[in-house]
């Protein structure tokens, strides 16, 4: 397989948009944690504790998603550097690592989305019981 400089460059916009989406998720969860924390301080409730536990797991997943995304971008840049310096074989392996890290990030994102959906379904189920 012949790898050109433009191949890893194609992932730049994809990874950048993913990191932006992950940051937006993180900010939304941070706001929710702050709101739930203040609610719990004013009126302690065991359901808020379970929601905070769920959010804590989601925050860790988003941190890991962002880390894998940043590492993927780093390896893309490293691949481009290696291609620029005519190290074709090593660049191919580095690009492969970049793709694996991106897939790992996407897998974590899917899992975080699943957990988020479960939490919303629990919340909606609580409304249906009323």
The answer to whether residue 72 sits within a structural domain is yes
Q: Is residue 1 part of a domain?
A: no
96 falls within a domain:
yes
Which tokens go with 123? 């919340």
pLDDT attached to residue 130: 59
- Asked whether residue 62 is domain-assigned, the answer is yes
Q: What is the pTM of this model?
A: 0.84
Is 43 among the domain residues?
A: yes
* Coil/strand/helix, residue 129: coil
Q: Which residues of 2-38 are buried (b: 16+ CB within 10 A; e: fewer)?
A: ebeeebbeebeeebeebbeebeebbeebeeebeebee
What are the distances in angstroms from CA 124 to CA 13, 16, 28, 42, 56?
36, 33, 19, 23, 20
**What are the residue ranges in the chain where pLDDT is below 50?**
none
Residue at 38 is within a domain: yes
pLDDT of residue 11: 86
- Residues ≥6 apart with Cβ < 8 Å to 42: none
Domain range for 55 is: 6-128
| φ/ψ of residue 96, rounded to 5 | -60, -40
- Total domains in the chain come to 1
* Maximal C-alpha separation, the chain: 67
pLDDT at residue 129 in the model: 62
């Amino acid at each position: 397989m012949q790898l050109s400089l433009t191949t890893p460059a194609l992932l730049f916009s994809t990874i950048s948009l993913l990191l932006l989406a992950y940051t937006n998720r993180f900010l939304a969860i941070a706001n929710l944690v702050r709101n739930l924390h203040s609610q719990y301080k004013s009126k302690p409730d065991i359901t808020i504790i379970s929601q905070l536990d769920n959010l804590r797991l989601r925050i860790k997943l988003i941190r890991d998603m962002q880390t894998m995304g940043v590492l993927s971008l780093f390896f893309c840049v490293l691949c481009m550097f290696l291609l620029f310096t005519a190290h074709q074989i090593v660049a191919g392996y580095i690009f492969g690592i970049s793709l694996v890290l991106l897939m790992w990030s996407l897998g974590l994102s899917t899992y975080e989305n699943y957990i988020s959906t479960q939490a919303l379904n629990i919340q909606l189920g609580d409304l249906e019981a009323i």
